[in-house]
Amino acid sequence: MTDRKPPGLEADEKTTLAGFLNYLRDAIAAKVEGVPEPEVRAPAVPSGTSLLGLIKHLTYVERYYFLGAEVRSWAATFKPTAKETAEGVLAGYRQAVTEANAVIESYQDLSRTVPNAKSAPSMRWLLTHLIEETGRHAGHADIIREQIDGATGR
């Protein structure tokens, strides 16, 4: 992913919302890059949350809301399997983001509903929710990464 900056103050609503979402997407992906096995998948808290698990979960979130994918167990989305590699999970996240961005780009009117989306009243609501969801998990990733190797910042 490219190193995006938050959108400027002069941006329109869609550019602002999509810009902040992409900024957060890049931030959480950067927290996973370069973290070796087994640290990238090691549970950092009693709930079992790991850096790789956060990326896997957000992949499902992107696909569920923007692309209409089914999710049988949200808890399972946080658990990478032994066969899943960090590179593969991160590539899957980037692909989901690319596909979601194509959906976002196709909307001029943010008040329109998203046909594929689950439980989303409008694209505006969906963008706001994904900013909240990705931002919350990016904060988790910040803390986990700092525990692993002391890396801080975006």
In a domain, 2, yes or no: no
More confident residue, 152 or 37: 37
In a domain, 97, yes or no: yes
In sequence order, which residues have a C-beta less than 8 Å from that of residue 15 and are 6 or more positions away? 7
In a domain, 83, yes or no: yes
In a domain, 154, yes or no: no
What domain count does the chain have?
1
CATH number at residue 96: 1.20.120.450
In a domain, 51, yes or no: yes
In a domain, 8, yes or no: no
Burial classification of residue 18, based on how many CB atoms lie within 10 Å of its CB (0-12 exposed, 13-18 middle, 19 or more buried): buried
pTM of the model: 0.92
pLDDT at 5: 76
d(CA 108, CA 106) in angstroms, rounded, equals 7
Residue 152 has pLDDT above 90, yes or no: no
Closest CA to 18 of 106, 136, 104: 104
Residues spanned by the domain of 116: 13-149
* Angle between the N-to-C axes of helices 13-32 and 51-67, in degrees from 0 to 180, rounded to the nearest 10: 150
d(CA 139, CA 135) in angstroms, rounded, equals 6
pLDDT at 154: 67
Query: Chain-wide mean pLDDT for the chain?
Result: 92
Angle at 153 between CA 58 and CA 97, to 5 degrees: 25
Helix (H) or strand (E) holding 87, with range, is helix 86-105
In a domain, 7, yes or no: no
In a domain, 43, yes or no: yes
pLDDT at 121: 80
For the segment 50-106, what is each residue's pLDDT rounded down to a tens digit?
A: 999 999 999 999 999 999 999 999 999 999 999 999 999 999 999 999 999 999 999
d(CA 120, CA 37) in angstroms, rounded, equals 36
Point out the least confidently predicted range of 8-17, 56-65, 85-94, 118-127. Answer: 118-127
d(CA 116, CA 1) in angstroms, rounded, equals 25
